[in-house]
Structure 1
Amino acid sequence: MRMPDDFDAISDAVDEVNILKGKKAWEETPVFDAAKDKTQFRQYEAACDRVRNFYQEQHEKQTVEFNIKMRVNMRKNVRARMGVWEAMEMLNTLVDDSDPDTELSQIEHLLQTAEAIRRDGKPDWMQVTGLVHDLGKLLYLFGSEGQWDVVGDTFVVGCAFSDKIILPETFAGNPDATDAVYSTEYGVYQPNCGLENVMLSWGHDEYLYHIMKVQSSLPAEALAMIRYHSFYPWHREGAYTHLTNAADDKALAAVRAFNPYDLYSKSDAPVDPAVLKPYYAGLIKKYFNEVIEW
């Protein structure tokens, strides 16, 4: 199946903006990217127009009503039954011919992320988290409403939209921005209720998190890496401290340790899925159900 002409281009442009905006804030600098020239990634300005148009749509449509509908739909329906490697191969059928800068297949990006983590001697649960972290993009094959509910930075819905979210002015067209409850600081939440108790904007991270939470033996840190790695307003910009609690501090450290592997491993040398499959098949067997309900 082919994606809309700019699916991978949008996803990559979002990553590029995050790369160029980012400041390394994790405690232990990853070894794998120490010698890389980050200026070789495409510049912020080149991605800006495409990203602005994407976020304009996302920010107008990610409402509380939409997010509740998506979660109800997820609980009521099983979209497919298959193992993790089969899901990776299914994701790999998404092809984008329009973006000359996107030469990696979906499965190659997952393997590059996992291999970068492996080379740095990180634990096997973190390696396999890198392997699966983008599998939520299967949402596109399962009938998403567009790109805006699959990729992009995530944020809290149900309370005032933070000014730390990228392009915050584009929320002006979202009806929740003027709702009597949803537009207040705490909205539907209690002070310091913890991120486990808030609703993040729907997309591939949130979808995969809810699947892996009940169908894997991944540790809490891995689940945090999956759920929060696109939650830039929190883990990079420091927003939502009025909602977080002590339990979120550990999650924050985990996400900051993971994100450079996701963002910067795309420039690594090519990988051979056939060669690497036996190693990762062992990790998949260790941490996941043989068949997962997607």
Structure 2
Amino acid sequence: MYIALLILIAVIFLSVIAFLLTERGKNLREKILFFSAGLDSGFKPGQILLLLKVGEYAELENLQSLFWSLPALDRCIAEIVRRAHQRGTENTEEHQSLMARLYSYRTEVELEQSRKKRGLESTRDIQVGQKVRILLPGVGVFSSKVVKNNSRDLVFDYPSSPKIQATSIDWANRNISVYFWRHEDAGYVFDTVVLPDPLSAGRAILHAAHSFQLVRSQKRKSVRAKCSIYAQLYLVKPGETLNSSLEGDPGMKCLLEDLSEDGAMFVVGGRR
């Protein structure tokens, strides 16, 4: 009885091995590995099935690269768009739904990679030329920028304000809060103290102590793309009904400089 059972198990095992060595078995094995890699990487089953469909459709050699490679994902999207254009199916509901899910997934991947990039851990990492806002408690907010960053301290250009005369303030030993936006990263704020520096007496600069307590905020929630597109802007009055018809009259000339899923930045008359 036991011998027969062992023989049966051995036959089943060898049959499975033989099947996996065939072309169909190889495809099944690759799909199993792909699904397993997706789960290990933290992807949801729905996302894994979508990427599997896309990778096979685009005939991608390394399907697992879709879990981490934006270029591989872009190649798949481009191939799908090309084939849909050839077949004349780019405007079908099925194609539009697939593209919407793909672009949504691509945005998630890019933002996740952006979040994994190393942020600032110390004020020693702030670049020279970084624009900042300095809050002096009980007095007001001032504009400035970093003019020097060394191992001893952080040096700011002398603060300025349209309403407050900064030169009338004794800044030495005052506690301040510094706010700034790091390009393609996030907003930061840290508290520090202005250091007295006899060697800089009479010079329009401030020395501040370094800090390791940076608070990161205002993280990006959408992917932005730089552009330079001339357009026309039409202002809508309160209560006016919007429609998609083309305007016959020219609008206000503007220049689009930044596009994202959340909106756009444009320049009108030199102002953003």
Higher relative contact order, structure no. (Cα contacts within 8 Å, ≥ 6 residues apart)? 1
Could you say which structure has the larger radius of gyration?
A: 2
**Does the TM-score normalized on the shorter chain lie above 0.5?**
no
TM-score calculated relative to the size of structure 1: 0.18
Structure with more of its chain in helix, by fraction? 1
TM-score calculated relative to the size of structure 2: 0.19
